Structure 1
Amino acid sequence: MEAVGGEGRPEVQGAAASPGSSGRGQSSVKPVWALLEEATQMKTEGNAFYREKNIRSAIGRYHRALLILRGLDSDVMSSVKGFGPEIPALTPEQQALMRSTQVDCYNNLAACLLQKKNADYARVHEYSLRVLQWQPGNVKALYRAGVATLEMGDAQTAKQYLTKACREQPNDTNVRKHLQKAEEKLNRELQKEKAMYRDMFSSGLTSSSAEGVTQTDS
Structure 2
Amino acid sequence: MHSTLLRSSPTKHTFVPEHHGPLQPLSLRDMEAKQHQIKSLKSYPETGGRSLAAAAGGDGGSGGGYRAGSAEMEMETKIQKAIDFKAEGHRCYKEKKFREAIGKYHRALLQLKGVHVVDGTTGSEVNLLSQAAAKLTEEQRRAVESTEIECYDSLTACLLQSELVNYERVKEYCLKVLSHQRDHFKAMYRAGIAFYHLGDYECALRYLRDAKNREPTDTNVLRYIQLTEMKMSKSGQRERESGKETQG
TM-score by length of 2: 0.66
Tell whether the 8 Å contact from 1:14 to 1:32 is kept in structure 2 after alignment.
Answer: no
Deviation at 1:197, TM superposition (A): 2.2
Equivalent residue in structure 2 for 1:189, among 235, 239, 243: 235
Alignment partner of 2:156 out of 110, 115, 129: 110
The equivalent of 1:41 in structure 2 is 84
Pick one of 172, 184, 191 that aligns with 1:145: 191
Q: What whole-Å deviation, never above 9, does each CA across 1:22-54 have from its counterpart, x for those lacking one?
A: xxxxxxx84433332221111111011111111
Matched, 1:65 2:108: yes
Q: C-alpha separation between the residues in 1 aligned to 2:235 and 2:159?
A: 28
Amino acid at match of 1:173: T
Q: Which residue in 1 is equivalent to 2:201?
A: 155
Which residues in structure 2 correspond to 1:4-153 (within 5 Å)?
16=71, 30-74=73-117, 75-77=121-123, 80=126, 84-86=130-132, 88-153=134-199
2:214 paired residue number: 168
Shift, 1:198, TM fit: 2.8
C-alpha deviation, 1:78, in angstroms: 6.3
TM-superposed CA distance for 1:200, in Å, is: 3.0
Greater relative contact order (CA < 8 Å, ≥ 6 in sequence): 1
The CA distance in 1 between the partners of 2:132 and 2:115, in whole Å, is: 10
Instruction: Provide runs of 4+ in structure 1 moved above 4 Å.
Output: 13-16, 77-83
- Mapped contact 1:132–1:141 kept (Cα < 8 A): yes
Cα separation, partners in 2 of 1:197 and 1:78, compared to 1, 3 Å? closer
Aligned length: 178
For 1:178 and 1:58, how far apart are their aligned partners in 2?
27
Residues 171 and 57 (structure 1), Cα distance of their counterparts in 2 relative to 1, 3 Å cut: same
Secondary structure (helix, strand or coil) at the match of 1:115 reads: coil
Task: Supply the RMSD in Å over aligned alpha carbons.
Answer: 2.3
Superposition deviation, residue 199 in structure 1: 2.8
CA shift for structure 1 position 153: 0.6
Which structure 2 residue ranges, 5 or more long, are not aligned? 1-67
